[in-house]
């Protein structure tokens, strides 16, 4: 069972209330589109919402995983150089470097090479603008992501689901920071802009009182009472949740449901969770989903940040939005003003021309 049925419709309404500025900051990005969606997410304090949106911010980074293909190609041989050296053999039949190279190109060489060209253009533009990226720059971005995901463990989990490592993330974050540094001098954000944004989005900055809780969900009161007895005897809550909870989504995390505010969970569950002390475990609580054993693990007071509290975060968000708007035209101009020789495209064009049906060719005598 998924824990989503525990949530009320109010949470979905909250997600739908994102401003247009925040939606802009959530566009999918690649090395050709720089969008700092994580900064918009930072201003939304609902951890579960931030986690969902934060995961989408990793999608563009997966694209660059294709670069591994072209790196293998480069290691094998220079493009379009003849080489019949065998890299493997099957019952005496050779598989040559040429065979392997051509197969790798067919599997994604064109798009991967195009990404490499784009990143080379970005590197050249950074050198021309005297822009350099330090380890501190990258680490600051990573720490920001950790905050948005609700901690290092949550970020690592999202990376694992995307088939990435922290090193992969750092490599791709460097590209984003580089483009931001190149284009940031072209942006203009005034105090008036910041004040206007704050007033228009004031409600989204405030956060209600929240608790963090874990639960073990079972079908019957008898099961719940037996589990409570084990817990009273010193059994580990997370272990029992993973073994016995029918809410499989939270069971995988030791029963953890994250932070939630009033109106987000079903009434019986919510009332019990808010009434507990931190680390206190409830008696069985009945809801439409079954019987819950609830453990309150953390608490956050309600917040209502002022303009001064959010000023620098809003400034960074607005700068990043302007960078996003500038980046598409900027990269297009980089490509149009550069001398680019792409032999993969040349070969594809040649092959297309050579494969033209002679019967379709018109000759004029």
Task: Please say whether the beta carbons of 224 and 293 come within 8 A.
Answer: yes
Q: Could you give the CA distance from residue 198 to residue 77 in angstroms, rounded to a whole number?
A: 55
Judge if 36 and 114 occupy the same domain: yes
Q: Could you give the CA distance from residue 135 to residue 284 in angstroms, rounded to a whole number?
A: 50
List the domain range (segments joined by +) for residue 222.
208-300
Judge if 191 and 316 occupy the same domain: yes
Judge if 113 and 198 occupy the same domain: yes
pLDDT of residue 200: 94
Query: In 10 A of CB 231, how many CB atoms?
Result: 15
Q: Could you give the CA distance from residue 120 to residue 132 in angstroms, rounded to a whole number?
A: 14
Whether the model pTM is above 0.85: no
Write out the H or E segment, with its range, that includes residue 213.
strand 210-218
Q: What is the pLDDT of residues 36-86, one digit of tens each?
A: 333 333 333 333 333 333 433 443 343 344 344 334 434 444 444 456 788
Judge if 275 and 159 occupy the same domain: no
Give me 49's structure tokens: 């919402």
CA dihedral sign, ordered 37, 38, 39, 45: positive
Question: 353 in a domain, yes or no?
Answer: no
Question: 5 in a domain, yes or no?
Answer: no
Judge if 70 and 217 occupy the same domain: no
Judge if 71 and 193 occupy the same domain: yes
**How many domains would you assign to the chain?**
2
Task: Please say whether the beta carbons of 53 and 337 come within 8 A.
Answer: no
Judge if 224 and 248 occupy the same domain: yes
Q: What is the pLDDT of residues 96-146, one digit of tens each?
A: 888 887 787 777 777 888 888 888 999 999 999 999 888 898 888 888 788
Task: Please say whether the beta carbons of 119 and 175 come within 8 A.
Answer: yes
Rg (CA), the chain: 27
In this predicted structure, the answer to whether residue 262 has a pLDDT above a threshold of 80 is: yes
Pairing between strand 210-218 and 93-96? unpaired
DSSP 280: -
In this predicted structure, the answer to whether residue 302 has a pLDDT above a threshold of 50 is: yes
Question: 11 in a domain, yes or no?
Answer: no
Question: 356 in a domain, yes or no?
Answer: no
- Pick from 19, 9, 22, 67: which is nearest to 264 by CA? 9
Q: Band the pLDDT of 204: cuts 50, 70, 90.
A: confident
Residue 110 CA: distances (Å) to CA of 72, 77, 230, 297: 14, 16, 59, 51
Judge if 320 and 190 occupy the same domain: yes
CATH number for the domain harbouring residue 230: 3.10.50.40
């Amino acid at each position: 069972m998924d824990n989503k049925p525990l949530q009320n419709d109010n949470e979905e309404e909250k997600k739908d209330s994102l401003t247009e500025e925040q939606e802009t900051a959530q566009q999918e990005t690649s090395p050709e589109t720089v969008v700092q969606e994580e900064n918009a997410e930072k201003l939304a304090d609902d951890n579960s919402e931030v986690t969902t949106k934060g995961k989408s911010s990793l999608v563009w980074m997966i694209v660059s995983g294709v670069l591994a293909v072209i790196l293998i190609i480069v290691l094998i041989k220079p493009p379009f150089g003849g080489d019949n050296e065998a890299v493997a053999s099957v019952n005496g039949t050779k598989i040559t470097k040429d065979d392997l190279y051509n197969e790798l190109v067919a599997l994604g060489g064109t798009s991967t090479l195009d990404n490499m060209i784009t990143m080379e253009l970005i590197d050249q533009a950074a050198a021309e603008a005297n822009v350099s990226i330090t380890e501190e720059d990258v680490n600051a971005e990573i720490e920001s992501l950790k905050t948005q995901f609700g901690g290092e463990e949550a970020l690592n989990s999202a990376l694992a689901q995307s088939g990435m490592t922290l090193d992969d993330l750092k490599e791709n974050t460097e590209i984003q920071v580089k483009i931001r540094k190149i284009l940031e001098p072209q942006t203009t954000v005034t105090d008036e802009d910041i004040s206007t944004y704050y007033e228009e989005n004031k409600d989204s900055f405030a956060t209600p009182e929240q608790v963090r809780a874990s639960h073990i969900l079972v079908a019957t009161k008898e099961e719940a009472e037996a589990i409570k007895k084990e817990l009273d005897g010193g059994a580990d809550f997370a272990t029992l949740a993973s073994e016995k909870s029918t809410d499989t989504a939270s069971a995988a995390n030791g029963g953890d449901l994250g932070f939630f505010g009033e109106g987000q969970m079903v009434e019986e569950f919510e009332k019990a969770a808010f009434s507990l002390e931190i680390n206190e475990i409830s008696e069985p609580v009945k809801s439409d989903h079954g019987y819950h054993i609830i453990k309150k693990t953390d608490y956050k007071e309600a917040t209502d940040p002022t303009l001064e509290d959010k000023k620098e975060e809003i400034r960074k968000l607005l700068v990043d939005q302007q960078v996003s708007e500038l980046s598409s035209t900027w990269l297009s101009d980089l490509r149009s003003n550069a001398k680019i020789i792409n032999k993969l495209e040349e070969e594809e064009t040649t092959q297309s021309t050579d494969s033209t049906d002679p019967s379709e060719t018109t000759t004029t005598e």
